[in-house]
Copies of this chain bind each other. A is one copy, B any other.
Amino acid sequence: MARKAPLTDEALEHVARRFAVLAEPMRLRLLQALFAGEMNVNALVEETGGTQANISRHLQTLTQAHLISRRKEGLQVFYAICDPSILKLCELVCGSLEKQFTKQAGAFAR
């Protein structure tokens, strides 16, 4: 966030939208699968255990947010992570949550 000037309302909405896109477990599962590399829809369906229709919708959401790229090859469509910040974002959150839970656990430890 700005160290100097505050963000405009429009900028805040964009930031919020970015966080909202990441706020679905199924989409995180898709991203997690894609961290290993490019995959097509069917592979993602199998990997995540979701339905084809639902996965397709989530992939659309991620694509429109420019978090993943779409490459068509014959009948298949391959998706891949195209925003390098995603991994860092997830790692930051995981680290923060881990610390938080550890601290809470410590309140009981003796």
Interface positions of A (Cβ within 8 A of B): 1-2, 6-7, 9, 11-20, 22-25, 28-29, 31-32, 35, 66, 83, 85, 87-97, 100
Contacts and interface: CB of A to CB of B under 8 A. Distances in A.
A28 B14 contact: no
| Chain copies in the assembled complex | 2
A20 B18 contact: no
For the residues of A in contact with B, the DSSP-based class is helix
Nearest to A15: B93
A8 B20 CA distance: 20
6 contacts: A12-B28, A15-B28, A16-B28, A83-B100, A89-B93, A92-B92
A97 B14 contact: yes
